[in-house]
Chain A
Amino acid sequence: MNLACFLNTIYHIKMADLKRSDIQKVAELAKLNLNKKEIELYSSQLSQVVGFVNNLSEVDTKDIQPTSQPTGLENIYSQDKVDQTQTLDVSDAISQANKTHNNYFVVDAVLQKDQ
């Protein structure tokens, strides 16, 4: 496929069908609180984008290895030593937190009694 077809087909894409329940599930996985309007909007917009990127199925990738980074680096080792110039003291480390207690971060309860 060339660019011409590519651009011409933008508005004739086969929409993928992402249901509201799919969007709801993905939002839970991503820890996002979406309202009804957002769920509605994202189910149509994400369907459009996913429909578009589905064109990758046209590309033959038989026997091709996936790329996770492009410079071909392998394992990088470093000394197992603490670099004191690369550490923050406790007061710096917690200085940006909204809630702290005795030099600890305060988080919302994770486990609840009735669960």
Chain B
Amino acid sequence: MIITPPLSIKDTQKGLLDKKFTAVDLVDSYLDKINKTNSDINAVLTISEEKAYDKARNIDRLIDQLGNKIISQYPLFGVSIIYKDNFLTKGVRTTAASKVLQSYVPNYSATVVNKLEEAGVIPIGKANCDAWAHGSSGENSDFGATKNPWNQEYVPGGSSSGSGASLAANYALITTGTDTCGSIRLPANYCYSYGFKPTYGAVPRYGIIAMASSLDCVGHLARSISDIKRVFEVTRGIDGHDSTMKETTYQQPKARLRIGVPKEFFIKGLDKEIEKNINSAIEIFKKEGVEIKQISIPTSPYGISVYYIIQPAEVSSNLARYDGVRYGNSRDFFGAEAKRRIMLGTYVLSAGYYDAYYLKAMKVRSKIINEVDKAFEEVDAIISPVAPTPPFKLGEKTSDPLKMYLTDIFAATANMAGIPSVSIPFGFSKDKLPLGFQLMAPRFMENTIFSLSELFERTTNYKPKIAK
């Protein structure tokens, strides 16, 4: 039966327990929507229909058997999910949106995929993205660009383009993403949803196709902060297969919180609408008793330069494994952007250039980290724009890689320092395109940004929205 799926985990699970609809109805409805509009939006690359119905039937059985008790064993029961296509899914084609892997079917799943499925999610399919997660607009996919459901002339943001667009088009309840320099936060922001990049080392990366290993984080997108939190409770924690993970306890935030406004992020060059929007968000926090403080992270504007040395260097090394021997096609199948990054990375690592570029970048990264850590002695969170402009038009930046790269100028700080960040939807531009901002906190202080986001949601009477 086709229904209108609810927009939160809470309402979905309540509807299932109250027998207003079944998990099979949910799958019917999401697939119906995908079949009707995905040929325009191009957010989904592979539909895992059989698996989705198997899981849904199982959830319906478990609800009959366990009733309300299902939640303790399956905290995400009935939650339909679309995985970014760089998450390995056993038996379901995984391409990273690259033709190198166009027919690759993994023999194992990513830890995060296993954790989510053990928690009761229903996998609907795999989301389009910039090939190998290289990009800020979704236009670098080897299987065609994803369009923004809010206005199909515009990009949905990248690299998790299909993950953002799938939420705006209501193809699933939650989606996953990877964030190496804004790749979750930007598409979430451009598609009016929450995007969460956890602390580096909080969520296992085993089974995720690697891009830049000293920066990559596995996170997710959803339509409320409570859904973001509930998914994080399932995905986080050491799995024994990702040696960069850190054992930790998550502390509760302080009663009175202080937000820092870094002056380097708020000067000429920032879009006027975005500036006005974020200033009104700051006013809202102030009215709610949050202390607002001007801070400075003087080296942060160099973050994007550091990023465009470290990232391609690590990309060139991670993509060296694709030789077409054990799986996948040959290196001739790499798209233009992957080649560009492999070339750039190989150049900065090559004899005679390593010290001038890679070593220098790693040192400037240390400097940014020290300044961020110092800023967090004065404040509990940092607020900033997600990108310098609202969503831009398809094709607007494709011929100019550097201009495209600068879209991520505000995202870099969180990845440099390995700190958590959440992008929060807030308002629309005069062109009716989604706006928002991001909050960052010290490492493993996710609860601080969750608490501030909850306060903001309450105060602004936020309601999830999907595109018409």
Q: Is the CB of A32 within 8 A of B339?
A: yes
* Residue of chain B at shortest CB distance from A75: B243
Residues of B within 8 A of A107 (CB): 325
* Residue of chain A at shortest CB distance from B388: A7
- Near A by CB (< 8 A), chain B positions 401-421 give 401-403, 405-406, 409, 416-418
Interface status of B108 (Cβ within 8 A of chain A): yes
Interface status of A115 (Cβ within 8 A of chain B): no
Residues of A within 8 A of B241 (CB): 86
A-B contacts counted at CB < 8 A amount to 168
Residues of B within 8 A of A34 (CB): 339
Interface status of A84 (Cβ within 8 A of chain B): no
Residues of B within 8 A of A66 (CB): 359, 362-363, 365-366
Interface status of B265 (Cβ within 8 A of chain A): yes
Interface status of B306 (Cβ within 8 A of chain A): yes
Interface status of A67 (Cβ within 8 A of chain B): yes
Give B197 Cβ to nearest chain A Cβ, in Å: 13
Q: Is the CB of B200 within 8 A of A3?
A: no
Give A48 Cβ to nearest chain B Cβ, in Å: 5
How far is it, in angstroms, between the C-alpha of A107 and the C-alpha of B323 when the chains are bound? 10
Residues of A within 8 A of B331 (CB): 31-33
How far is it, in angstroms, between the C-alpha of A57 and the C-alpha of B302 when the chains are bound? 10
Residues of B within 8 A of A82 (CB): none
The majority secondary structure among interface residues of chain B is helix
Q: Is the CB of B325 within 8 A of A67?
A: no
Residues of B within 8 A of A96 (CB): 104-105, 107, 326-328
Q: Is the CB of B343 within 8 A of A69?
A: no
Residues of B within 8 A of A105 (CB): 325-326
Max chain A Cβ within 10 angstroms of own Cβ: one of B241, B323, B339, B343: B343
Interface status of A22 (Cβ within 8 A of chain B): yes
Q: Is the CB of B401 within 8 A of A69?
A: no
A-facing mask of B359-373, CB < 8 A → 1, else 0?
111111111010000
What band does the interface of chain B fall in when counting residues whose beta carbon is under 8 Å from A? Answer: 35 or more
Q: Is the CB of A18 within 8 A of B347?
A: yes
Q: Is the CB of A4 within 8 A of B343?
A: no
Interface status of A103 (Cβ within 8 A of chain B): no
Residues of B within 8 A of A57 (CB): 360
Interface status of B332 (Cβ within 8 A of chain A): yes
How far is it, in angstroms, between the C-alpha of A15 and the C-alpha of B218 when the chains are bound? 35
Q: Is the CB of B267 within 8 A of A97?
A: no
Give B461 Cβ to nearest chain A Cβ, in Å: 33
Q: Is the CB of A32 within 8 A of B347?
A: no
Max chain A Cβ within 10 angstroms of own Cβ: one of B267, B328, B364, B366: B364
Answer whether A55 and B417 are a contact pair too, CB < 8 Å, given A6-B269, A69-B244: no
Q: Is the CB of B309 within 8 A of A3?
A: no
Q: Is the CB of A10 within 8 A of B108?
A: no
Residues of A within 8 A of B309 (CB): 53, 56
Q: Is the CB of A56 within 8 A of B269?
A: no
Q: Which of B268, B326, B417 contacts A97 (CB 8 A)?
A: B326
Q: Which of A23, A52, A61 contacts B367 (CB 8 A)?
A: A61
* Residue of chain A at shortest CB distance from B410: A3
Answer whether A46 and B343 are a contact pair too, CB < 8 Å, given A52-B402, A70-B418, A73-B201: yes
Interface status of B264 (Cβ within 8 A of chain A): yes
What band does the interface of chain A fall in when counting residues whose beta carbon is under 8 Å from B? Answer: 35 or more
Q: Is the CB of A46 within 8 A of B340?
A: yes
Interface status of A64 (Cβ within 8 A of chain B): yes
Interface status of B316 (Cβ within 8 A of chain A): yes
- Near B by CB (< 8 A), chain A positions 82-102 give 86, 88, 92-98
Q: Is the CB of A45 within 8 A of B401?
A: yes
Q: Which of B105, B327, B332, B405 contacts A49 (CB 8 A)?
A: B405
- Near A by CB (< 8 A), chain B positions 181-226 give 199-201, 214
Q: Is the CB of B367 within 8 A of A70?
A: no
* Residue of chain A at shortest CB distance from B238: A76
Answer whether A52 and B200 are a contact pair too, CB < 8 Å, given A2-B264, A76-B243, A96-B327: no
Residues of B within 8 A of A50 (CB): 344, 347-348
Q: Is the CB of B324 within 8 A of A69?
A: no
Interface status of B342 (Cβ within 8 A of chain A): yes
Interface status of A71 (Cβ within 8 A of chain B): yes
Q: Is the CB of A2 within 8 A of B367?
A: no
* Residue of chain A at shortest CB distance from B312: A49
Q: Which of A2, A29, A71, A78 contacts B267 (CB 8 A)?
A: A2
Q: Which residues of A contact B (CB under 8 A)?
A: 1-4, 6-8, 10, 18, 22-23, 25-27, 29-34, 38, 42, 45-46, 48-50, 52-53, 55-59, 61, 64-71, 73, 76, 78, 86, 88, 92-98, 105, 107
Q: Which residues of B contact A (CB under 8 A)?
A: 104-105, 107-108, 199-201, 214, 240-241, 243-244, 246, 264-265, 267-270, 299, 301-302, 305-306, 308-309, 316, 320, 323-329, 331-332, 334, 336, 339-340, 342-344, 346-348, 350, 357, 359-367, 369, 388, 401-403, 405-406, 409, 416-418, 443
**Other 6 A-B pairs with CB < 8 A, given A4-B269, A61-B364, A105-B326:** A27-B343, A46-B347, A65-B363, A69-B214, A97-B327, A98-B329
**The 10 A-B residue pairs with the shortest CB-CB distance in the complex, in nearest-first order:** A70-B418, A66-B362, A96-B327, A7-B269, A61-B363, A4-B268, A30-B346, A53-B305, A67-B366, A92-B107
A sample of 18 inter-chain contacts (CB < 8 A) reads A4-B269, A8-B268, A30-B343, A31-B320, A33-B331, A49-B344, A53-B357, A56-B309, A64-B363, A67-B363, A92-B107, A93-B326, A94-B326, A96-B105, A96-B326, A98-B324, A98-B329, A105-B325
